[in-house]
Amino acid sequence: MSSSSGVSEGVVQRGKLLVHVAENGRSFELNCDECTLVESVQRYLEMLSGIQLNDQLLLYLDMKLEPQQPLSAYKLPLEDREVFLYNKSRMRSNSTPPQPEEIESLESINPDPPLPSSSNDPHPLDDASDPALKVLPLYERQFRYHCQLADAIYQRTLLKLEMCERLSREQRVQEKALEIARGNLDHIYKMILRNYSDFVKRYSHQQRSHSNLLVNFWRDLERLRSVKLIPALQSDNRKCLSDFVKEENLRKMVEDCSNSHRQFESKVEDFKEEFKELKGSTEHLFSSEASINNKVFERTIKEHRQYIDDQKSIMQALSKDISMVKKLMDDCLTSQPSNSLRPHDAVSALGPMYEGHDKNYLPKLQACEGAISNLLMFCKDKKSEMIGFVHGYMQKIAYIQYTIRDVRYKFSVFNEAINRQNDQFEQLKVVRGIGPAYRACLAEIVRRKASMKLYMGMAGQLAEKLASKRESEVRKREEFIKVHSLYIPHDILSLMGLYDTPSVCDVNVAPFDSNLLDLDIPDLDRFAPERNNESEDIIELGDIVGTNKLEVENAKLKAELASVTARLCFSPLEIEFEYFDEGKMDILLKEGAEKTNEALRLKDEYVKQLESVLNDKQLQCGSYEKRIEELERRLSDQYSLEHKIDKDDSFTTGKVGDSKSETSSERDVQGHSGQFSEPMDDALYGYNSLVTKSGVDKTSKILDDNMTDSSGMANPNPNLDSSMREPSRDVNEKDENEETVPDVGMQNILEEKSNQLIELEAKLEAAKVEVATLARDLEISRNLLDESQVNCVHLEKCLHEARKEARTHLCAANSKASDYNKLRGSTLKIRSLFERLKSSVSSADVSSFADSLQSLSQSLTNSVNDGGDDGTAEFRECVHMLAKKVGILARHRAELVDRYTKAEAAQQQLTKELDESKALVNTLYLKHQSEKQANKEKISIGRLELHEIAAFVLNAAGYYTAINRNCSHYYLSPESAALYADSVPHNPTCIVGQIVHIERQTVKPSPPVQTDHNGGSSQSGLISGPTDANPYGLAVGCEFFVVTVAMLPDTAVHTPPPPAAAS
């Protein structure tokens, strides 16, 4: 891979890239570096997997590997990162499915060994004279064959198990490949689903607005016809709002829009059906899974590894047996037999071992191989099934991705169609918006006029404030000059510039908005009635004049009201035509509700403030009226008193009695004057305090001047008082001395008093005029207050709709909150029930578990009876059923425990009996062994078998015949006879030995022979005597048995007595 990757010579990071083929689950590990191009990797994979370069699709996580990019662009290679290879040619709908999994035959790789043969594998013991030693090579060859056969079976079984594990790994790789492909499809599907949701919301909003435009178009046009233009705006061609558009063009446009709307609606419905099918197929694909679970698969393979362990143990036993046979043969070859086991005993023990190999070990090995073979066939079938499933699954994914790509293209087409629909309906929106726009323009006129007056009022307030500041500064300078001019010459102060005064500030505002129509708030509903509020009451607002605080505030409220009216004209259109997502709409509704609540709170506070100000004004007006009435009454009393004094002066004489009366009258007048001056000061002080509270500077200044005049009026001439007191003392003195006062002095005093009264009358008239002026100012303030209240009422009406909408949203929110509270309550109840269930389950042990559940079920049933149905009946029913089932299981458990106790007691009894039986069996076994040993030492006279003892006698023909009652054709082999003959000096008459081999033969016909009788005469005939083909002289076709025996230890050989010597 490194030679074909074309890497640079620099120091680069190298590593192994693990690539899995999704088609069959094969894996390839490539040595490459970070500079290797993906295209080089694909070319190398083409040689390994056979997938063409153009048909390869490499995926790493959710990224597609581009051929032109190096591996470093994807942070590859890394040890723990995997890349999956997909065959795009297999994803086509008309592609042929891949071939099912094929498994090569293992019998050709590890065949069974050939059968053993003495000719192919000779051994020195094959020519041994002892039959037992001669049999040892046969057993060794058989045991070696068994071991080789077991090894071949084991190797085949091991290869089959490895193939099963490989198939399992490949299936696991295929599952991962399906997960990667499913994750990639899920990512694309979520994106397209989100786009579809946004498209449906946008289309639904547009469809509702356009349908509304089409349904209400003629009503909107009729409403435009009914609204006449202001006379100043009318012309020959324009009398009403419908003249702004051409109705002839509108009719054709409405028809075109209606047709386009229907066609687009039908296409969107078809698109929705197509997307519904796509959604159904995608969800069905996500829910489909392979029929085999790989975890179960791996667990099954793990369980089958026990067969390998069994085969290993069998092979160890076979190896041990062959090692023993080889050792025995080596001992026999070296003539060093073991003291504990002689060759004949070993030969007699090899027979059962051979039978154990042939009947137990080898069949068990073959059974293990068969189980693994069945598992391999099962894995092969499941792998073939997985290959087909992956092929079909990837074809479905490819089809869904193609459909998603087609739907994505349609999204752009439909979005463009939505934009064209909006452009086509734009003229209809213009018809809908003419009325609100016309009303908004009139409201803007009112707003601009109110803003202009507000602007000018604020300028007037600024001028008044600056003038008061200037007067304050002038007064401070005059006081300074008055104090310091006593010490500093005037020319020095002049040279210092301390005689300068502040300039008068003249605030001038150039006129603007002179071309605005003469409109006010009531004219809006008269010239441009609102579409949804045609019966609203008309609000009368007076003109704004003056620059005081209330007037400026009124102008500000009027401008805000006009601005809100202009804004509200287009709010329904914006909501109707503009699309807002749910999050933005919720935010707008929340902000609107908060602003509405804040406005209502401010309105309530302002109303309370106005009510308090109105109450204060009413109290002030009441106090003004009382003071005025009191002043009028006192002035009337003083005026009548003055006329009375004038009448008394005209009839005065020089008599002392008259002077006394006059003096008393003067005292009365002085007393009345003192009584009058003090209440006047109190009244004027009340005026001053009330006007000061109202905050009007101009009125405060006037009342301050009036207070100065009134104080002067209360004590206009202090010398007058003293002169009046001096005559009083003179009158008293003269009264004491009984002297009279001249009439001339009294007349002068009366004239001066009359002049003072006239001046007092003039000042009272001026005070009346000032009070009237204050009353008029109060009336103006009251009118402004009424206008403010009217503005507040209108503002409340304007906010009423917002409050109603906010209340609607609040009701919806309360409903959702109540639903949430119900759901939360139900959830809390369910959780509390689960907590109770958990506590009862965790606190109780196994024995009291059923009782705990039963008590919980009973308590839940009682709570249902007490509290009624609270939405948890299903849970209670489940707990009740669980308690019932657990109770049944508890009873079964108790029964099983009881049965277990009884069974344990019975087992103990059986164990005791078994021990007794074992003792008895051991006794019987020992007896049997002793009997068997005795039987072994007995001579068999029935059918001869291996390892039995047989007795042979020498017959007349010179052969040893077995003593047998069933069959007399058992003959001792010549080798055994020669073995016994070598051990004694003469041929024994009887031989006893252990049978080690029995050879079955059949007598065959002999060829004709020539014999001579009686001196050379010849005769041809068949001889029935002993021959090589018939050594024992038996009939043709007769069966006989040649028996090879081994010598028994400590066995005496019976020999005939030696012949007697001839005398």
- At 896, is the secondary structure helix, strand, or coil? helix
Phi, psi of 531 (to 5 degrees): -65, -40
DSSP 539: P
Residues in the chain: 1063
Q: What angle do CA 459, 461, 467 make, to 5 degrees?
A: 105
**DSSP labels, 52-89:** -GGGEEEEETTEEPPTTSBGGGGT---TT-EEEEEEGG
| Residues of the chain under the 50 pLDDT cut | 2-10, 338-341, 533-546, 651-742, 868, 1009-1025, 1052-1055, 1058-1063
Sheet with 14-21, strands from edge to edge, namely 27-33, 14-21, 82-87, 56-60, 63-64
pLDDT digit string (tens) for 734-768?
444 443 444 566 777 777 878 888 888 888 888 88
Spatial CB neighbours of 46, under 8 Å, sequence gap ≥ 6? 52, 53, 56
DSSP 91: G
State yes or no: cis peptide before 77, omega within 30 of 0.
yes
Q: Long-range contacts for 758-766 (Cβ within 8 Å, ≥24 apart)? A: 759/713, 759/716, 760/638, 760/713, 760/716, 761/635, 761/639, 763/709, 763/710, 763/713, 764/631, 764/635, 766/709
Rounded Cα distance, 956 and 958, in Å? 5
| Contact predicate 77/65, CB 8 Å | no
Locate all alpha helices (DSSP H) within 334-361, ordered by sequence.
343-356
| Contact predicate 797/564, CB 8 Å | no
| Contact predicate 969/1040, CB 8 Å | yes
Q: How far is CA 895 from CA 847, 907, 910, in A?
A: 13, 17, 22
Rounded Cα distance, 225 and 248, in Å? 15
Termini Cα distance of the chain = 111
| Contact predicate 46/110, CB 8 Å | no
pLDDT given for residue 438 in this prediction: 86
Q: Is 1033 left (phi over 0), alpha (psi -120 to 50) or beta?
A: left
pLDDT given for residue 471 in this prediction: 92
| Contact predicate 787/541, CB 8 Å | yes
Query: Which H or E run includes 736?
Result: helix 718-737
Q: How far is CA 644 from CA 305, 651, 753, in A?
A: 147, 11, 13
Rounded Cα distance, 361 and 315, in Å? 9
Q: Which residues of 580-614 are buried (b: 16+ CB within 10 A; e: fewer)?
A: eeeeeeeeebeeebeebeebbeeeeeeeeeeeeeb
Burial class (CB in 10 A: 0-12, 13-18, 19+), 33: buried
| Contact predicate 399/278, CB 8 Å | no
The tokens of 748 are what?
């002068």
| Contact predicate 421/265, CB 8 Å | no
- At 22, is the secondary structure helix, strand, or coil? coil
Which residues are registered as beta bridge partners of 82? 18
Query: Which H or E run includes 16?
Result: strand 14-21
Answer whether 0.85 is exceeded by the pTM: no
pLDDT given for residue 727 in this prediction: 40
User: Dihedral through CA 673, CA 674, CA 679, CA 683, nearest 10?
Assistant: 70
pLDDT given for residue 687 in this prediction: 37
- Cβ neighbours, 10 Å, residue 1054: 13
Rounded Cα distance, 839 and 139, in Å? 73
Spatial CB neighbours of 913, under 8 Å, sequence gap ≥ 6? none
Rounded Cα distance, 959 and 969, in Å? 11
Rounded Cα distance, 764 and 620, in Å? 21
The 3-state secondary structure of 782-843 reads HHHHHHHHHHHHHHHHHHHHHHHHHHHHHHHHHHHHHHHHHHHHHHHHHHHHHHHHHHHHHH
